[in-house]
Structure 1
Amino acid sequence: METFYLFIVIFLFILAIFDLSVGVSNDAVNFLNSAIGSKAASFKTIMIIAAVGIFAGAILSNGMMEVARHGIYQPQYFYFSEIMCILLAVMLTDVVLLDIFNSLGMPTSTTVSLVFELLGGTVALAIIKIINTDGALQFGDLLNTDKALTVILAIFVSVAIAFFFGTVAQFLSRTLFTFNYKPRMKYFVAVFGGIAATSILYFMLIKGLKDTTFMSGALKDWVHNNTSFIVWSCFIGFTILMQVLHWLKINVFKIIVLLGTFALALAFAGNDLVNFIGVPLAGFSAYLDFTSYGGSIDPEALLMTSLLGPAKTPWYFLIAAGLVMVIALLTSKKAQNVVKTSLDLSRQSDGEEAFGTSPVARVLVRTSSNMATTLMSVVPENIKQWMDTRFNQDEIILENGAAFDLIRASVNLVLAGLLIALGTSLKLPLSTTYVTFMVAMGTSLADRAWGRESAVYRITGVLSVIGGWFITAGAAFVICFLVATIIYFGGTAAIVALIGLATYSLVRSHLAFRKKSNKQTVSPTVKQLMNTNDSSEALVLFREHTRNELESVLAFAGEKFDKSVHGFMNENLRDLRKVLAAIEEQKFHLRQVKRIGTLGVTQLDRAIAVEKGLYYYQGNDFASEIVFSLRRMTEPCKDHIDNNFKPLNDAQKDEFGKMADEVITFISRCMLEIKRNDYTAFDQLVEKAVSISNALTQLKKNELKRIQGQSGSTKVSMVYLNMIQETQNVVSFTSNLIKVSRKFQME
């Protein structure tokens, strides 16, 4: 029996490694968002600073894993076997749940997931114990709901407070510095830098280091009793230092951003480490208690009273956890995906939005716009003009490729640190994730980054993320409840099955994410096009990019046309569904290509931008029409097969099969013309398109004669005629596409 539970403990630690990886991937947005978004330093430098902060925070962690030991359940009423059941269910749920959120690029709270998983597993076992004891035990005896209620309160408190103060602080900062902040730095930068650096240090002392191993005893009491003295001394010292740095031509805002990144990373590792290794350490502690009896006690008879006491985490666990977190931060693509979501919602400029629109967002935007119009109508004209000069985005100072400037990045980090420190000192349950994300959203709103063209998308995104936080709590509770129940009643077989299921889920998620990431990778040509300042070079790159995209569209069209036709003829419903799914992805891709093309046109010389831009948009429209025609052809075919209607007869298959081969050959020839950028066979291809179209018209006439002779199924005939029509459209649009491509590529 000891061997069995040893295996469970080992597996808990294996899961903890994965949990550390996926947890860091999600929480990375907390401390990377501002530095990466403002380009305060190179990506490598930012990651190194964050990694050092994480490792230092992990080593200096207090090692107190109270939440997992007795924060939710009352261990003195649970047997060893029951505790291990809860802990295993929590870890299985946590790893999979966080990985799902990472794959979706949605930041969530690891604290919320841990607490509600513990709550879900505990409630499951509590119900079983209450039934088994005929009501001798009650819920009040078995679990402590205060922690869960506190976390629920944190969602509301953190969201409202962080968003409000983020908006106000950024409005004041922007009014003070404006978007062209450099000329005004000589007046305000020393005081601003002193306040910022002091706030960050205060945050590190109160939140990041307050319970670390060296912050104890006399030192901790001295810091507590002399907090005011420390704060004022630091403010004076940092103010002088920032002024000296400014005189030395060092950008003070970059120093603030990097210092804030280090502080948040340190606090994250020091305080949230319990969310990742607290559960396996609780299991390890319970196992040591169980083995101390030398196998003389039944695991279903040993109450876990030992978990009531505090336990220090051994230093080697902290170092190992720190190393895993650093490696995960430096290598995780999903961490960058989560950061990208936050940056997309807070960037200063418009562009391709990650989220769509929603009715709630539209109502909020409309209501806010009306309120703003009413409010501005009573503001004196001179004040409005003065405010417009303070928020003139044409003068914005941005690092190359930055989403927002250093002023906003500094406010994000300083305010997030202050709010978290304040919440900690007042014992208010402020979540790090909620605060940092909502501060970033508030500052972007104050900076007028949510314009009329983007507000509805940004608000939809924010509401989606906030909704995801609530979903985290509900999903964590329900899933862990079910997993704990299955493990309790299913025993070893259930554990093996659930481990296999979790492993499959993680592997599948990783493969799907890698496939998605590969599709979204920006080509080197596009990167060069966006960064070049030479209009002649831009034209060459733009043409190359267009050739690659049109070649890709025609390759897609040929492959999916072939699959659609033969899928219908062979009554292969699965292939038809795959074609429709691929078409939806291709439609989204073409929208992205069109956005890149719009940016590409702006890089061209004005003398040719209108002409070449027109040809580019026509080509993109024809490419889209090809994809739409494929969808209009495939969808009725899929519905026909799905309803189990009669298939095509032999005559129809024979006629259309031959024409389908000609169409595929025609598309392939057009694709090669574009790929080689050689249009010597252009006239032949145009003639071939006319020939195929005439042949397809003849197929229509043949089918209409069959309908008139009342031979065959009407439903089959309708689908068949639709296939012919949409095939004609594909041929026509392909012909037009190569015509436009030829004009675009010509000098």
Structure 2
Amino acid sequence: MPELYLFIVILLFVLAISDLIVGVSNDAVNFLNSAIGSRVASRNVIMIVASLGIFVGATFSSGMMEVARKGIFNPQFFFFAEIMVIFLAVMLTDIILLDLFNTFGMPTSTTVSIVFELLGAAVAVSVLKILAAGDGMDTLGQYINTSSAIAIISGIFLSVGIAFAIGAILQYLSRLLFTFEYKKRIPWVGALWGGVALTILTFFLIFKGAKGASFISDEVLGWIKANTALLIGISLVFWIIVMQILVVLKVNILRLIVLFGTFSLAMAFAGNDLVNFIGVPIAGFESYMAWSGSGEEAGQYSMEVLQRPVRTRTYMLLLAGLIMILTLWLSRKSRSVTETEVNLGRQSEGAERFSPNMLARGIVRYTRLMGAGFQRIIPNRLLRKTNNRFEPMKPSDAAEDQAAFDLVRAAVNLTVASMLISFATSLKLPLSTTYVSFMVAMGTSLADRAWGRESAVYRVAGVLNVIGGWFGTAIIAFSVSATFAWLIFQFGVWAIGGLVIAAVFFISRTFLIHQRKERRKEAREAATGRRRMPAQELQAETATYIAGTLDQVRTLFRQSVEGLVTEDLRLLSDVSAQMQALEERHEDLKYRLVSSIQKVEEDDTEISRLYLLVYDLEQDLLQSVRLVTDACRDYVRNSLVPFSPGQQEQLRELTRAVERFLELVARALHTGHPDHAVQILQEKPGLLQHIEELLNDQVRGLRQRTYGNRNTMLFFSLQLETKDIVAVAARFVKLYRRHQEAEGMTHPLLFSR
């Protein structure tokens, strides 16, 4: 039996390493968002600064470890064996949950996840103990630290509104002070503003954060507490003087503030959130050490030892900090999560990730009405003066090199978030860094008028999606952790082995999903981030792109018909997956649309119009192909009457004709030769006539009851969609031929894949 619990302790630390990796991948957005969004420095410089903050902050988190030991449940009511069940269920749940959010690039709260996982597992084990003892459920309250749990949960969710409001107010005042042309204002207000910001960061990170440091003695802490006011005054004067000197030397002090804030927020993150990743394994290790020296049975040893305050060993904290730093540099999933928050807060318009929903539309509509009402009250002169201060600078020609937002907003984001998180850390409250950082960023975005008429509904929908994910985190964490605890409690080693295997399988699957998403994103960035190109080169590229689409459509059409005739459901399922990939490729074209048009060198409206029509025609084409693939799959999946030999031959004959036509169209687009276009336009009427004859044959067969009702109706649908596919393919040729004639191109275009 001792060997089993030693194995569980080792497993907890292995899971802790994995949890550090997936946790930092999600939480990196909290301290990287502002620096990366404002492009304050190169990515390597930002990462170095953040890494230093994490390493220092890791040593300040010792006091937070008590949350895992006694913050959620009362350990004196549990035995050692039961505590290990709770801790193991919590760690397994946390890894799976955080990895899921990382895969889809959604920021969530590691604090909320660990709190609700502890609560769920503790409740599950408590209920099992109560049932075994024959007690009533009214005794559940003695097992759960209700007052502490309510305080922690209330603080987490209350921080959402507070962070949003404070971020919005301070950003509004800062923008009034600096405007978007902040470089002109810095010489006379920058030193005072920067001095206050850096003093706030210094106070909360050094004076308050020192309380949790594992290496600072009680005497030093007492001296800091007794001289807090003096230290604040000295800090303020020091930073104002330093800022003024830098202003005189023409140094951009906002860059210094943002980098200092990045260090501060990374330090606050490590100090506040390290408990989420290693608090449970360290508590498990302490429990094992106490039990192993007691000589009692695992099911009889009370865990009162967890009530005692313990300072975590510094080497454990530093080792955890090192793992976090390595993850920060190596994790690709952290970049996905960061991009979500940066895009929701960016100042410029562009492609939006989230689709509008009813609630987002309602919020935007009623907010506009309220805003219009306030504008009627405010004097026009004051309104005009205020609006002028919120007038963004005109974008430069190199639009792709612009930052998502400027340094003023980045500095406010970091200062406010660091202040709130560090203050909570000093009170030993596990405030959610994700909630605070995200809501501060959204508040400053709103105050900065980044959510204009063109983007507001999409940004609000994105915020609602993220917040909805937060509530989902709490529900999933509680229920899954409770389920895991029940399984381990009931089935012991078998459940542990099964859950570990399931976790490994799940993480492997999400890794593959994320890899696929990354490849798509890289392809999209490669397409949208290129040099400017001549109109003829852009035309050649779009023609090659459509030729590739037609090649894929030809394959999908053939496989769909073959799967229908042979009733091969596996083939049809594979076709459906290929169809989805083709539709995702079309979505990439939408993202490239505006960017590619902006990269045309000449003032050529024709090539822009060509690109828009290509996108529109491809959408029509894919809609028809999707109807064909879905209809074939549903027919076979429902096990309906198979097609007669005559119908099967007609379908195959139709497929061969369509394949040949689409191949000709693709070849014409590849070569751009006028003779190929003429050949296609000559063959189109014959193919359409052939489809009409097949339709007439089906009508006769239906009247004579030679064919079944359902397969005949499916045949009708396939033939009608085939007509649309042929018509759209021919329109591509007409479109490019017309463009050639309009541009006076008498020679063939040379296209290459």
**TM bracket (short chain):** over 0.9
1:599 and 2:595 matched: yes
What pairs with 1:154-233 in structure 2 (closer than 5 Å)? 154-233=155-234
1:19 and 2:19 matched: yes
Report the counterpart of residue 322 of structure 1 in structure 2: 321
| Greater alpha carbon shift after TM alignment, 730-739 vs 327-336 | 730-739
Query: Deviation digits for residues 655-697 of structure 1, max 9, x if unmatched?
Result: 1112213323433443354456666633333334443323222
> What's the offset of the Cα at 1:721?
1.3
| Greater alpha carbon shift after TM alignment, 198-207 vs 390-399 | 390-399
Q: Residue 113 of structure 1 contacts residue 473 of structure 1 at CA under 8 Å; is this kept in 2? A: yes
CA separation of 1:541 and 1:424: change in aligned 2, threshold 3 A? farther
Report the counterpart of residue 71 of structure 1 in structure 2: 71
> What's the offset of the Cα at 1:548?
5.1
Query: Deviation digits for residues 148-191 of structure 1, max 9, x if unmatched?
Result: 31233124321111111111111111111111211122121111
SS in 1 for 2:706: coil
Name the aligned partner's letter for residue 602 of structure 1: Q
How far apart, CA to CA, are the structure 2 residues paired with 1:203 and 1:597? Answer: 47
Report the counterpart of residue 376 of structure 1 in structure 2: 375
How far apart, CA to CA, are the structure 1 residues paired with 2:670 and 2:52? Answer: 48
How far apart, CA to CA, are the structure 1 residues paired with 2:470 and 2:90? Answer: 18
How far apart, CA to CA, are the structure 2 residues paired with 1:538 and 1:91? Answer: 56
Report the counterpart of residue 305 of structure 2 in structure 1: 306
How far apart, CA to CA, are the structure 2 residues paired with 1:78 and 1:161? Answer: 36
Q: Residue 257 of structure 1 contacts residue 409 of structure 1 at CA under 8 Å; is this kept in 2? A: yes
SS in 2 for 1:170: helix
> What's the offset of the Cα at 1:259?
0.6
Query: Deviation digits for residues 94-132 of structure 1, max 9, x if unmatched?
Result: 100111111122211111111111111111111111122
CA separation of 1:717 and 1:279: change in aligned 2, threshold 3 A? same
How far apart, CA to CA, are the structure 1 residues paired with 2:733 and 2:515? Answer: 33
Query: Deviation digits for residues 33-58 of structure 1, max 9, x if unmatched?
Result: 10000000111111121112112222
How far apart, CA to CA, are the structure 2 residues paired with 1:719 and 1:339? Answer: 47
Report the counterpart of residue 653 of structure 2 in structure 1: 658
How far apart, CA to CA, are the structure 2 residues paired with 1:680 and 1:204? Answer: 74
| Greater alpha carbon shift after TM alignment, 62-71 vs 706-715 | 62-71
1:251 and 2:252 matched: yes
Report the counterpart of residue 454 of structure 2 in structure 1: 453
Name the aligned partner's letter for residue 663 of structure 1: V
1:550 and 2:546 matched: yes
> What's the offset of the Cα at 1:17?
0.9
How far apart, CA to CA, are the structure 1 residues paired with 2:591 and 2:400? Answer: 22
Q: Residue 5 of structure 1 contacts residue 287 of structure 1 at CA under 8 Å; is this kept in 2? A: yes
Alignment RMSD (CA, Å):
2.4
Report the counterpart of residue 107 of structure 1 in structure 2: 107
> What's the offset of the Cα at 1:588?
4.9
Query: Deviation digits for residues 431-466 of structure 1, max 9, x if unmatched?
Result: 222111111001111111111121111111111111
Structure 1 length as normaliser, TM-score?
A: 0.94
How far apart, CA to CA, are the structure 2 residues paired with 1:538 and 1:227? Answer: 65
CA separation of 1:396 and 1:170: change in aligned 2, threshold 3 A? farther
Q: Residue 25 of structure 1 contacts residue 334 of structure 1 at CA under 8 Å; is this kept in 2? A: yes
Report the counterpart of residue 615 of structure 1 in structure 2: 610
How far apart, CA to CA, are the structure 1 residues paired with 2:661 and 2:322? Answer: 57
Report the counterpart of residue 751 of structure 2 in structure 1: none
Query: Deviation digits for residues 571-622 of structure 1, max 9, x if unmatched?
Result: 23454455445545544542441342223223334631x1111111111111
How far apart, CA to CA, are the structure 1 residues paired with 2:573 and 2:628? Answer: 12
How far apart, CA to CA, are the structure 2 residues paired with 1:45 and 1:560? Answer: 48
Q: Residue 58 of structure 2 contacts residue 271 of structure 2 at CA under 8 Å; is this kept in 1? A: yes
| Greater alpha carbon shift after TM alignment, 661-670 vs 25-34 | 661-670
| Greater alpha carbon shift after TM alignment, 415-424 vs 562-571 | 415-424
SS in 2 for 1:645: coil
How far apart, CA to CA, are the structure 1 residues paired with 2:739 and 2:155? Answer: 57
SS in 1 for 2:401: coil
What pairs with 1:304-453 in structure 2 (closer than 5 Å)? 304-395=303-394, 400-424=401-425, 430-453=431-454
CA separation of 1:713 and 1:276: change in aligned 2, threshold 3 A? same
Q: Residue 57 of structure 1 contacts residue 269 of structure 1 at CA under 8 Å; is this kept in 2? A: yes
Report the counterpart of residue 488 of structure 2 in structure 1: 487
Report the counterpart of residue 133 of structure 2 in structure 1: 133
1:722 and 2:717 matched: yes
SS in 2 for 1:474: helix
How far apart, CA to CA, are the structure 2 residues paired with 1:92 and 1:432? Answer: 22
Q: Residue 64 of structure 2 contacts residue 425 of structure 2 at CA under 8 Å; is this kept in 1? A: no
CA separation of 1:130 and 1:599: change in aligned 2, threshold 3 A? same
1:698 and 2:693 matched: yes
How far apart, CA to CA, are the structure 2 residues paired with 1:739 and 1:730? Answer: 14
How far apart, CA to CA, are the structure 2 residues paired with 1:485 and 1:343? Answer: 40
CA separation of 1:230 and 1:676: change in aligned 2, threshold 3 A? farther
Structure 2 length as normaliser, TM-score?
A: 0.93
CA separation of 1:27 and 1:528: change in aligned 2, threshold 3 A? closer
Instruction: Determine which of 620, 632, 639 is the counterpart of 1:625.
Output: 620
| Greater alpha carbon shift after TM alignment, 710-719 vs 135-144 | 135-144
May I ask how many residue pairs the two structures share in their alignment? 739
Name the aligned partner's letter for residue 595 of structure 2: L
Q: Residue 207 of structure 2 contacts residue 228 of structure 2 at CA under 8 Å; is this kept in 1? A: no
How far apart, CA to CA, are the structure 1 residues paired with 2:585 and 2:243? Answer: 47
Query: Deviation digits for residues 341-368 of structure 1, max 9, x if unmatched?
Result: 1111111111111111111111111111
Structure 1: segments with no counterpart, 5+ residues: none
Report the counterpart of residue 238 of structure 2 in structure 1: 237
> What's the offset of the Cα at 1:560?
2.3
Name the aligned partner's letter for residue 565 of structure 2: M
Report the counterpart of residue 32 of structure 2 in structure 1: 32
How far apart, CA to CA, are the structure 2 residues paired with 1:641 and 1:375? Answer: 61
1:709 and 2:700 matched: no
How far apart, CA to CA, are the structure 2 residues paired with 1:275 and 1:583? Answer: 41
Q: Residue 180 of structure 1 contacts residue 396 of structure 1 at CA under 8 Å; is this kept in 2? A: no
Query: Deviation digits for residues 122-147 of structure 1, max 9, x if unmatched?
Result: 11111111122222992233221233
CA separation of 1:548 and 1:62: change in aligned 2, threshold 3 A? farther
How far apart, CA to CA, are the structure 1 residues paired with 2:51 and 2:551? Answer: 44
> What's the offset of the Cα at 1:547?
4.2
Report the counterpart of residue 93 of structure 1 in structure 2: 93
Q: Residue 206 of structure 1 contacts residue 425 of structure 1 at CA under 8 Å; is this kept in 2? A: no
CA separation of 1:660 and 1:66: change in aligned 2, threshold 3 A? same
How far apart, CA to CA, are the structure 2 residues paired with 1:359 and 1:192? Answer: 41
How far apart, CA to CA, are the structure 2 residues paired with 1:147 and 1:586? Answer: 52
Q: Residue 115 of structure 1 contacts residue 147 of structure 1 at CA under 8 Å; is this kept in 2? A: no
| Greater alpha carbon shift after TM alignment, 688-697 vs 96-105 | 688-697
Structure 2: segments with no counterpart, 5+ residues: 746-753
CA separation of 1:476 and 1:70: change in aligned 2, threshold 3 A? same
| Greater alpha carbon shift after TM alignment, 560-569 vs 490-499 | 560-569
CA separation of 1:552 and 1:377: change in aligned 2, threshold 3 A? farther
How far apart, CA to CA, are the structure 2 residues paired with 1:525 and 1:506? Answer: 28
Q: Residue 526 of structure 1 contacts residue 541 of structure 1 at CA under 8 Å; is this kept in 2? A: no
Report the counterpart of residue 671 of structure 1 in structure 2: 666
1:509 and 2:505 matched: no
Query: Deviation digits for residues 6-44 of structure 1, max 9, x if unmatched?
Result: 221111111111100011011111100100000001111
Q: Residue 619 of structure 1 contacts residue 741 of structure 1 at CA under 8 Å; is this kept in 2? A: no
How far apart, CA to CA, are the structure 2 residues paired with 1:166 and 1:741? Answer: 52
Name the aligned partner's letter for residue 371 of structure 1: M
| Greater alpha carbon shift after TM alignment, 508-517 vs 256-265 | 508-517
Q: Residue 71 of structure 2 contacts residue 149 of structure 2 at CA under 8 Å; is this kept in 1? A: no
CA separation of 1:8 and 1:678: change in aligned 2, threshold 3 A? farther
